[in-house]
Amino acid sequence: MLRRSILLVIFLFLAVGNPVQAHTVTEVGDYAIIAAWENEPPVVGEWNAIVIDIFNTNGAISATEVGLRQFELVNGEITRAAVPSQSFAETVRFTVSFIPTVEGEIGVHLVGTLAGDPLDVTVYPERVEPVRILQFPGVFLSNGDLQDGLIRIEDRLAAQQTQLLIAYLVGGIGVVIGVVGIISARRKQ
């Protein structure tokens, strides 16, 4: 266990020089599966790639240890088969490039074998963010967008004014009932 943890730490330090920045690690037996984005932060509408590194925490890994039959991108209930490119070095690396079109988590569902053992796991790198987090000085709204926003604000204001009027009426009725109660209590004395 200690050896495995040390190898995991060493691998993560080696991966720092890699263009992949953020990592999530999923352990499957003696193997670690690292899911990451090639370009950080991942944003909607920008070309990117999910990188999956698989390595043996007990030592070197060979390409024959990893047999994937299914490699799917997952977003909620939506899945899409993907054909990753792969390379082999100290890890087995799979890369699938695409343009994220929605915010949130996009995972990779891996089905196959790992050293002869069945593999069926979904791994998730960092969540996809809206492109506005990278925009400077920010997005300026068109006149139509501003008008739509003002209409929504006016609608909310009208609803709040109605609620305020109802609150005043209920409060006034409560005061009248209280005054009537006090007066009738004094008459009984």
SS (H, E, C) 28-67: ECCEEEEEEECCCCCECCCCEEEEEEEEECCCCCCHHHEE
Q: What is the pLDDT of residue 6?
A: 44
pLDDT tens for each residue of 35-73 = 999 998 999 999 999 999 888 888 777 777 788 888 888
pTM for this structure?
Answer: 0.59
